[in-house]
């Protein structure tokens, strides 16, 4: 995790993209927000990039590959798993069985998207603030190991 690395946003809903991407760009101005509309595209990017992402924020319910499948693929890929990129679900609606299944996949947070823009901004601000100050294995440069 690189504090100024890109934020990977995965959501196939155009309305949510329209709201979330600019909000994240404002909250984390030093991190590029990379938007993916499919888990397939996100996983391909993660497998081929040398960038050290700061955070992954994903919707659970998506058409081509849902967020749980995406997280499972990351966990099953030894290289991606070792990168330990914080993975957050930001979704609506929320069901208990989804939360339970998500935490079995060792995610780092599960948030229900609020209905009001101001509330969504507070949620995203809290997520970015937390991960900006949290110590994490990938927060250290390779020479610090």
For residue 129, being part of any structural domain is answered with: yes
| φ, ψ dihedrals at 69, nearest 5° | -65, -40
Q: What is the helix (H) or strand (E) element at residue 112, kind and residue range?
A: strand 109-112
For residue 48, being part of any structural domain is answered with: yes
User: How many domains are there within the chain?
Assistant: 1
For residue 1, being part of any structural domain is answered with: no
Q: What is the pLDDT of residue 135?
A: 78
Tell me, what DSSP letter sits at residue 137? G
Please state, for a pLDDT cut of 70, what percent of the chain lies above it.
Answer: 92
Q: What is the pLDDT of residue 108?
A: 94
Which CA distances in Å does 56 have to 39, 124, 144? 11, 12, 24
Q: What is the pLDDT of residue 145?
A: 46
Q: Token pair for residue 46?
A: 């993660």
For residue 2, being part of any structural domain is answered with: no
For residue 82, being part of any structural domain is answered with: yes
For residue 70, being part of any structural domain is answered with: yes
Distance between first and last Cα of the chain? 14
Q: Which domain holds residue 127?
A: 7-144
Q: What is the pLDDT of residue 121?
A: 97
Q: Which residue has the tokens 């959501």?
A: 11
The ranges of the chain with pLDDT < 50 are 145
For residue 105, being part of any structural domain is answered with: yes
Q: Which of 67, 63, 53 is nearest to 10 (CA)?
A: 67
Q: What CATH number corresponds to the domain at position 101?
A: 3.40.50.2300
What pLDDT digit, counting tens, does each position of 25-61 carry?
999 999 999 999 999 999 999 999 999 999 999 999 9
For residue 53, being part of any structural domain is answered with: yes
Q: What is the pLDDT of residue 54?
A: 94
Instruction: Enter the pTM of the model.
Output: 0.91
Distance CA 68, CA 18 (A): 23
């Amino acid at each position: 995790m690189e504090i100024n690395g890109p934020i990977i946003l995965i959501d196939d809903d155009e309305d949510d993209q329209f709201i979330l991407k600019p909000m994240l760009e404002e909250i984390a101005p030093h991190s590029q927000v990379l938007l993916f509309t499919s888990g397939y595209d996100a996983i391909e990017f993660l497998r081929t990039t040398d960038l050290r992402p700061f955070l992954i924020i994903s919707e659970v319910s998506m058409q081509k590959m849902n967020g749980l499948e995406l997280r499972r693929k990351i966990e099953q890929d030894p290289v991606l798993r070792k990168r330990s990129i914080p993975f957050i679900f930001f979704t609506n609606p929320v069901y208990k069985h989804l939360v339970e299944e998500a935490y079995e996949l060792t995610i780092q947070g599960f948030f229900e998207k609020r209905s009001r823009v101001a509330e969504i901004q507070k949620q995203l601000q809290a997520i970015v603030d937390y991960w900006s100050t949290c110590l994490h294995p990938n927060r250290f440069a390779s020479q610090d190991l």
